[in-house]
Amino acid sequence: MIFLTPTLLAGDRSLANVMLHEIAHSWSGNLVTMAAWQHFWLNEGLTVFLENRVLKRLFGAEAYALHMEDCYTACKESVEGMLKINKSYASLAPDYSSGADPDDGFSSIPYMKGMALFCFMEHKAQVSEQKFDAWIKSYFAKFSGKSVTAPDMINHYERKFGKGLVNWNKWLYEPGMPAFWPKYDTAFIKPIKANAKDVEWTTGKYIVLLDHLLEKDVTTAQLKALQARHNFDASTNPELIFRWAMLGIKGKRASSIKSGLAMLGSVGRMKFARPLSRQLLKYGQGPAAIKVVEKAAKEFYHPITTRMVKMDLGLK
């Protein structure tokens, strides 16, 4: 049985990758799972790897490129954020030995950097996708119904492909972005980031565009032009509502601030709630965000969401 958030019901099947991710967890995370929180990347990194593998085969190179761009952006944002909090949390295997709460170190890093490591392992093995897939199947078979550690997986990999191919210490314990990132066709990406006229827009392309714009300064005139061309205000897709609100809050657009507060007060998914709360606080809407969060915390937020969002807003 798989429980899914209603925010995946976008109405355009654009979030099928999340369905693939959760189905893949039936093997990487359920059939074989991590033995400790330091090894969380074994669950999530391998699951993203499998998700991307299936996504590319089902939907093609363009869909894969768009998703990989999203993965890179998510990893980069998390690394930058965690380096400011605790350098260990910006590594693939954070140190929780002092009794730190693993929730404090939660980010997209074990997902995306973990995925990059499995891609690097395949790259260094120098075998076909089919042969590397066969090794993954053997991993699931060997450790079925068990909890595993990084050394368990590493030993299984090295028995098949040999030692010395991967610098495990660097990958696991060095904070920051991975030195290796999986290749994908960036020709699909450049026109999107340029907001080119000949782009046939889809949700995935809009995500890439908005993520790109979020890294830049934005003016009221630019926001007005984007709305006139793309009508983001009318979107019912949570991924686009979230990103458009984030961009508009940065540009101090009143309707976007209202939209961001509305989403913060109606969606308890940390993927949206935490960045929105930080963005609202950063751009002068902290008191309004706190009021919304206090109400949501009483009515429906999960306790972990409540604690993390309040921490983001500077509350105890």
Q: What is the pLDDT at residue 1?
A: 58
CA distances from 287 to 82, 177, 305, 314, 315 (A): 25, 34, 18, 11, 11
Other Cβ atoms less than 10 A from the Cβ of 161: the count is 18
- What does the pLDDT read at residue 206? 97
Tokens of 62: 């363009």
Alpha carbons 107 and 78: distance in angstroms, whole number: 6
Domain covering 212-312 assigned CATH 1.25.40.320 in the classification: yes
Please give the positions annotated as active site.
22, 111
Question: What is the pLDDT, as a whole number, of residue 24?
Answer: 92
Q: For residue range 250-297, what is the model confidence (pLDDT) as tens digits? A: 999 999 999 999 999 999 999 999 999 999 999 999 999 999 999 999
* Domain residue ranges of the chain, discontinuous segments joined by +: 6-173, 212-312
pLDDT in tens, 53-74: 999 999 999 999 999 999 999 9
Low-confidence stretches of the chain (pLDDT beneath 70): 1-2
Residue 18, φ and ψ in degrees, nearest 5: -70, -40
The pLDDT score that the predictor gives to residue 84 is 93
What the block records as the tokens of 49 is 């790897």
pLDDT of residue 109: 98
Using a pLDDT cut of 70, give the percent of the chain over it: 99
- The set of residues, in sequence order, having a beta carbon less than 8 Å from that of 147 and lying 6+ positions away, is 33, 34, 35
At residue 6, the pLDDT reads 80
pLDDT of residue 2: 64
* Separation between Cα atoms, residue 81 and residue 58, nearest integer Å: 33
Look at the domain 6-173 and name its fold.
Neutral Protease; domain 2 (1.10.390)
pLDDT at 8: 76
